[in-house]
Amino acid sequence: MAYVPGPDTTDLDRTLVWVNRKGIAVPLSDVHRPYASPRISPDGRRIAVSILESGNYQIWIYDLERDTLSRLTHEKSNALGVWSPDGKQIAFSSNVPGPANIYTVSADGNGSPERLTSSKFAQLPGSWSKGNVLVWTEVDTTTVGDLWALSPGGSAPPISIRRTPFDEFEPTFSPDGRFLAYISNDSGTYEVYVQTYSDRYRWQISTRGGYEPVWAKDGHELFYIVNNKMMAVPVNLEAGFHPGKPQPLFDVRYDPGLDGFPPYDVSADGKRFLFVKPSTDQPKVNEIDVTVGWATELQSKFLH
């Protein structure tokens, strides 16, 4: 058995960077951690970011004004933080009792996390609308990625938003909560789509593939990534929904983040993108290891 050994991922040195629409990156701070998939708070003052520790991710809060980093979760693996519309809570995926389900916790660190969903399938949070609707992806073994939603704090059960034999992932609400962007491979290629949340009428946004959709905060642009290119789509919301032609902005050469969740976010003015940049000093892979007799060793350890 031949394999290529990689670096210890718990020691990955990464930084948070602002990238303008021309692709010029500026470090947000000099604090280096194994960051992944940052999310900017509604008021633009804080960042919820996943940080890798001893093989598990945890949610941390980065305060931009005070330049502080505070840990929010602790047990097992907790990742993919999504802000509530008022910025007071974080929804995230946790595998504390078993399969990763959706939990919420106060963004100021007070109180314990509360379980929001209960499923035998893994769930990835997507977006929390101003109308208090949280949407997520559930990875069903039969229908692959499906979109579900509920109103946190309410008594109504979760409702199915899109459940097909195809993959649907990365759901994100428009700022006004009327439209839902997501990716699907029902055409044979992953493309970005937008549908009305109420009646499910939809439009195809990308034209040659697309992933990781994120809305501009004013709702008049939708961004996505394809072939390592950041794409911008103008959106006219007058008298309905009218998307324009995708336009490339810059090359994306940053950390890809966690599967099923966009690896970046957009500033309030739409002029900057928050990414995670790997260090240029990462250890390089320069060897191939070969193991002889691995089948016999496997049998002796696990099959007897």
Q: Which domains does the chain have, with CATH numbers?
A: 2-302 (2.120.10.30)
Give the C-alpha distances (Å, rounded to integers) separating 170 from 97, 173, 261: 24, 10, 6
Q: CA-to-CA distance for 62 and 202, rounded, in angstroms?
A: 36
pLDDT beyond 90 at 2: no
- Residue 10 confidence class, pLDDT cut points 50, 70, 90: very low
Q: CA-to-CA distance for 45 and 160, rounded, in angstroms?
A: 33
Give the per-residue pLDDT at 132: 96
Give the per-residue pLDDT at 58: 96
Taking residues 80-97, report their average pLDDT: 95
pLDDT beyond 90 at 126: yes
pLDDT beyond 80 at 153: yes
Report the candidate in 13, 19, 88 with the shortest Cα–Cα distance to residue 52: 13
Q: CA-to-CA distance for 91 and 11, rounded, in angstroms?
A: 26
- Residue 125 confidence class, pLDDT cut points 50, 70, 90: very high
Give the per-residue pLDDT at 304: 44
What DSSP string runs through 220-270? SEEEEEETTEEEEEEEE-TTS-EE---EEEEE--S---STTS-S-EE-TTS
The helix (H) or strand (E) run that includes residue 297 is: helix 294-302
- Residue 129 confidence class, pLDDT cut points 50, 70, 90: very high
- pLDDT-above-90 percentage for the chain: 75
